[in-house]
Amino acid sequence: MRIDARGLTFDVRAGGPEDGPAVLLLHGFPQHGGEWDDVVPALHAAGLRTYALDQRGYSPGARPEAVEAYRLAELVADPAAVLDALGVDAAHVVGHDWGAVVGWGLAARHPDRVRTLTAVSVPHPAAMAHALTTDPQQKARSAYMLLFRQAGKAEKALLALNATGLRRMLSGVGGADRVAAYAEPMRAPGALTAALNWYRAMSRNDLAAVGPVPVPTTYVWSDRDVAIGRTAAEACAAHVTGDYRFVDLTGVSHWIPDEAPAPLAEAILARIRG
């Protein structure tokens, strides 16, 4: 389905019982709402209604050109507006990677719209900002962002030779078909630039300014995540004032929804059920 909100048109994958409690699913870079395809069957079987949003820059109808249009405040306002358009007062929110950042921001700024939060891979933005400042290992893990913030150079590096760089980055999601399902949409004119604008608009001050999260929260991290180290992951707890659980998946990479959908679905359902 397509949802008009904030003057933009968002693509949304809806599924599950129409009268079930709403679950809003927020994807990461460089993916789209299809990253939840192996997770949602378990949620639907539990009676939940899911909405997997293709976020700003990923939905072709929601692709503003200005870098400033991708500041965190704008990214957080989108799902709140989409919930309004869907007629959903509050939803269980699940986010992976950049989707987790948006989920943290939504839960901190609009806790009345978030019944529960399950954040996957990326910890609370303030924990991440602190780790980037104090942990040399996390600085090294995040060095790729320096390339991503360079307009033109990053696009060239990732899209050259049939998007070899982008496909290599996505190799952990599974086989060639799954890699292609994420890489091909990024080859459309302007698509990768819009996705990279999330990094280019990112401010450490914006991340650090995200307040504590008062809603029941689960943070799912995996010990083979090359982007997020344990220091940042374990610092997350200090930024949640609601009930908090830390789920540590062993032997799993950053691409948790693709690589470990069953344990992720279990963590989401456990959080939703309390």
Above pLDDT 70, what percent of the chain? Answer: 100
Under the banding of pLDDT at 50, 70 and 90, the label for residue 43 is: very high
Range of the domain at 37: 2-273
In the predicted model, what is the mean pLDDT of residues 229-256? Answer: 97
State pLDDT tens for residues 167-188: 999 999 999 999 999 999 999 9
State pLDDT tens for residues 82-111: 999 999 999 999 999 999 999 999 999 999
* pLDDT value at 218 more than 90: yes
* pLDDT value at 204 more than 90: no
Under the banding of pLDDT at 50, 70 and 90, the label for residue 267 is: very high
Under the banding of pLDDT at 50, 70 and 90, the label for residue 3 is: very high
pLDDT, residue 102, reads 98
HEC string for the chain:
CEEEECCEEEEEEEECCCCCCEEEEECCCCCCHHHHCCCHHHHHHCCCEEEEECCCCCCCCCCCCCHHHHCHHHHHHHHHHHHHHHCCCCEEEEEECHHHHHHHHHHHHCHHHEEEEEEECCCCHHHHHHHHHHCHHHHHHCCHHHHHCCCCHHHHHHHHHHHHHHHHHCHHHCCHHHHHHHHHHHHCCCHHHHHHHHHHCCCHHHHHCCCCECCCEEEEEEEECCCCCHHHHHHHHHHECCCEEEEEEEEEECCHHHHCHHHHHHHHHHHHHC
* pLDDT value at 202 more than 90: yes
Whole-structure pTM value: 0.98
Q: What is the CATH number of the domain that holds 190?
A: 3.40.50.1820
Total domains in the chain come to 1
pLDDT, residue 21, reads 98
